[in-house]
Structure 1
Amino acid sequence: MRRVLVLFSVLWIGKVFAQSTFSAGLLPKVVTSFKVTPNIKWANGIESRTFIYDEEFKFSHSLVDVSSIFSLKTRMNNKLNFGFIFRFKEGKVEYRSLQHYNIIQRLEHLQLGHRFAFEQFYDDIINLRGRYRVTLQKALNGDKIDVYEWYMKFSNEYLWQFNDETLEIRLSPNLGYRLSKKNKIEIGVEYRASDFTRTIDKNQLWTRCTMYISL
């Protein structure tokens, strides 16, 4: 059975890259947040996207996303998020609204997170997208993440486009470091496979670096 699974995986990977394009790039991001009330947090982020490989090796700046999100704590480990994302691309501005519901489960040695999301893209028509992300986070030293300590974070996300009925899958392992009680940094990679329900025609590999600053 193990050999069958290995063979299937090799054949599947070969099929993916034989029938699709591949690109890679950088996704640096900074997120700042502060508490408006004990149960409401306001977070603002900016993320840049730059290709370093797209059919050939070259640097090509793609876009900038600016986000503004309000987070409302509904229970001890549950939150509702509402906000907007403004995408600056090729001299144009695209708008997106979003609603998230987050659930955090604190297990014995790790933290398990679920995010259910619904997004609206405003163009000539309104494009709708649903998202689900599961995240595992674990301290590398002890049972909890203390200041000046490293941690691992792994996420798996599924994005469904309602208008064209396509699925995108994302996998992202990250290494994080807590700089202080309020600030942390995470570095990792993110693999994206698009149009998963038909033929995987687009593969992307991004190097991520995200700085979280709490004011």
Structure 2
Amino acid sequence: MNAQSQSVTNVGVIPKLNIKKKFETLWSINLEIAPRIELLEGGTLSTLENSTFYTLTDITTVVSRTVGVSNSVGMGYLTRIEEDQSTAHRFIQQYVLIDYKGTYRIAHRFRTDQTFRKGGVPTFRARYRISSDIALRGQTVDPNEFYFKISNEYLGILRDQANDIEIRLTPTLGYNFKNKNKVEVGLDYRIDSFINSNPDHRYWIQVGYYFPL
């Protein structure tokens, strides 16, 4: 794209299934399955038109080890199955720091990843995400209670000559069930293509179900 390219606005939905299993006291494995379905597309929000179609499915596995009190280091692998049945492979490295502040906690995630496609140019990204879970009642998120979650992420993207920056903002309302399962519903807003064209805007409605084994 050149500097004169027009912005693109997309609206879609991302249902997520997240499964986590702890081993002993220090190790854990996290599996997430997240398909994407695009619903609307246009130049701006006011010109959106119906464009419902399946986009892709991400299957992500991350193995983490706790270090210190609540921080962790992890490595993972993502398989992306795209609408034309082609696949992409992504390798993930991350470090997470968690700080508890009374009725809420703040998590900092530093992540790098490398994505490879057959016949395509590799993509390298450096990512920083800050997020917070806030109890809506009392000091902690107890069973059978709602909570608010918000995250803000910044991504630097290196892909041959198509370098880019992406920013994500995701406010979410969650509910913690008695059995420690959780459901979260929120809006994942993404803006990118700052460098090579006019910014693109993507709005994803996220519906996630999380449960530990």
TM-score over 0.5 (shorter chain) = yes
Deviations 1:121-158 (CA, angstroms, capped at 9, x unpaired): 01344321000000021000011000000000010000
Structure 1 distance, partners of 2:197, 2:123, is 21
TM-score by length of 1: 0.87
Alpha-carbon contact 2:185-2:207 (below 8 Å) kept: yes
Structure 2 distance, partners of 1:31, 1:190, is 17
**Which of 31, 52, 65 is equivalent to 1:44?**
31
Alignment-derived partner of residue 14 in structure 1? none
> Mean Cα displacement is larger for which, 124-133 or 20-29?
124-133
State how 1:125-136 maps to structure 2 within 5 Å: 125-136=121-132
Runs of 4+ off more than 4 Å? none
Contiguous gaps of at least 5 residues in structure 2: 43-48
Q: 1:162 to 1:84 in 2, by over 3 A?
A: same
Contiguous gaps of at least 5 residues in structure 1: 1-17
**Which of 177, 189, 202 is equivalent to 1:204?**
202
Alignment-derived partner of residue 46 in structure 2? none
Q: Cα distance, 1:180 vs. partner?
A: 2.8
Alignment-derived partner of residue 71 in structure 1? 64
Task: Say which SS state the counterpart of residue 180 (structure 1) adopts.
Answer: coil
Root-mean-square deviation (CA), in Å?
A: 1.5
State how 1:117-156 maps to structure 2 within 5 Å: 117-123=111-117, 124-156=120-152
Alpha-carbon contact 1:193-1:200 (below 8 Å) kept: no
Counterpart code for 1:156: N
Alignment-derived partner of residue 166 in structure 1? 164
Structure 1 distance, partners of 2:176, 2:32, is 19
Identity score, percent: 29
Counting matched residue pairs gives: 198
User: Which gives a bigger RCO, structure 1 or 2 (Cα 8 Å, sep 6+)?
Assistant: 2
Structure 2 distance, partners of 1:139, 1:76, is 21
Structure 2 distance, partners of 1:60, 1:201, is 23
Structure 2 distance, partners of 1:141, 1:75, is 29
Structure 1 or 2: more helix by fraction? 1
Alignment-derived partner of residue 26 in structure 1? 13
Structure 1 distance, partners of 2:192, 2:137, is 36
Alpha-carbon contact 2:143-2:180 (below 8 Å) kept: no
TM-score by length of 2: 0.88
Structure 2 distance, partners of 1:199, 1:169, is 15
Q: Cα distance, 1:36 vs. partner?
A: 2.2
